[in-house]
Amino acid sequence: MMGEFELIARYFRRPVRRADLGVGDDCALLRTAPGMQLAVSSDMLVEGRHFLATVAPERLGHKALAVNLSDLAAVGARPMAFTLALALPSADERFLAPFARGLLALADASGIELVGGDTTAGPLNICITVLGELPAGQALLRSGARPGDDVWISGTLGDARLALEVFRGTVALPGGDFETVRRAMEMPTPRNALGIALRGLAHSAIDVSDGLAGDLGHVLAASGVAACLDVDALPRSAVLAARPVAVQHECLLAGGDDYELAFTAPQARRQAVVAAGQAAGVALTRCGTIEAGRGLRLVDRAGRPVAATFRGFDHFAPAAAP
């Protein structure tokens, strides 16, 4: 079995490009440009909670970094670097080689590098800290939503939750459809180009990781406002759109693991928002309005209230009930 140092050297050490000093000393050394703020976020992934034992290691490597990059996207920071702390039952090359490949492929695609971290024996646990930079004062915060703002969503919501329900046995899908939604769950695309394009344009933003209703709720609470959301307008894949309406609503609003951006922007900037989405290569859907007050109202396209009491997984289906 490989030791910690050999393991790091074999799979994770690469020449640094942007950092002043990368893996191999007590700390990594980095510099931000003058006038820039540093954005920092840490996420920990635990088997059974953030990923299933069935996930391919290459996809897990991708996902572990993607969910962290998504936090940088949500504030509009440009990714710079990341650290990886990894607890593994054993230094198994059949896991490590594809895990590192998936992780570093997304790092390369995102223009960032692994600058440090830690490996240890223990129950599988992946903790990544990402560092990004952005012009001081331009961060997209949860607290900036204002009455009159449009609510926008990137990409589509709900496929990751639908895939989870297939694994849980509450939903059956044809093989091709299952692969489509499974990919959404296991290979989310962080929206960093979009987050950067939204600087100075969006009033508030969050990444949808725990389900839209809850995550948008954080924005509303932090901003001291209410929102009205058109449930029929929420963007969904053709696979999800073919499911019963109750399943669609649950997956769209209480799904989780979407890693799309939910953001608010002034109505007067609609053209600029559309252009930002086009520049970033991601579809944007306008699906609600920020209002004065408190809380989240759900309506259909005719403006009629939609009843929804989402209680997470328990609420989903009889097979998932306690």
Nearest Cα to Cα of residue 170 among 236, 250, 235, 241: 250
Beta bridge partners of 51: 47
Element (H, E) at 296: strand 295-299
Residue 101 CB coordination number (10 Å):
15
Nearest Cα to Cα of residue 269 among 205, 168, 171, 201: 201
- Per-residue mark of binding to a copy of itself, 256-295 (x: CB under 8 A): ----------------------------------------
Contacts of residue 239, Cβ cutoff 8 Å, sequence gap at least 6:
159, 162, 173, 177, 180, 181
Interface residue with a copy of itself among 7, 65, 66, 72 (CB under 8 A) is 72
**Considering just the CA atoms, what is the radius of gyration of the chain in Å?**
20
**Stretch in the footprint of a copy of itself (CB under 8 A) among 42-50, 149-157, 246-254, 263-271:** 42-50
Contact between 15 and a copy of itself by CB under 8 A: the answer reads no
Nearest Cα to Cα of residue 256 among 134, 145, 154, 164: 164
User: Is residue 42 helix, strand or coil?
Assistant: strand
Contact between 311 and a copy of itself by CB under 8 A: the answer reads no
Report in angstroms how near the CB of residue 8 gets to a copy of itself at its nearest: 12
**Stretch in the footprint of a copy of itself (CB under 8 A) among 75-83, 180-188, 231-239, 286-294:** 75-83
Interface residue with a copy of itself among 2, 105, 125, 320 (CB under 8 A) is 125
Please report how many Cα atoms fall inside a 13 Å half-sphere around the Cα of residue 221, on the Cβ side. Answer: 7
Report in angstroms how near the CB of residue 181 gets to a copy of itself at its nearest: 23
118 or 232: CB nearest a copy of itself:
118
**Stretch in the footprint of a copy of itself (CB under 8 A) among 54-62, 68-76, 100-108, 161-169:** 68-76
Binding-site size, a copy of itself (CB under 8 A): 59
Nearest Cα to Cα of residue 159 among 251, 230, 67, 245: 251
43 or 230: CB nearest a copy of itself:
43
Contact between 115 and a copy of itself by CB under 8 A: the answer reads yes
How many whole angstroms separate alpha carbon 153 and alpha carbon 141? 16
Contact between 94 and a copy of itself by CB under 8 A: the answer reads no
171 or 259: CB nearest a copy of itself:
259
Report in angstroms how near the CB of residue 89 gets to a copy of itself at its nearest: 11
Report in angstroms how near the CB of residue 251 gets to a copy of itself at its nearest: 21
Report in angstroms how near the CB of residue 210 gets to a copy of itself at its nearest: 9
Q: Which residue has the tokens 């259909």?
A: 300
Annotate 233-267 with DSSP letters as a single string.
GS---HHHHTS-HHHHHHHHHH-----EEEEEE-G
How many whole angstroms separate alpha carbon 35 and alpha carbon 229? 37
**Stretch in the footprint of a copy of itself (CB under 8 A) among 10-18, 57-65, 83-91, 153-161:** 83-91
Instruction: Point out which residues bind a copy of itself (CB under 8 A).
Output: 20-21, 24-32, 34, 36-44, 46-50, 71-72, 74-75, 77, 81, 83-87, 115-118, 120-123, 125, 127, 129, 131-132, 136, 139, 141-143, 205-207, 222
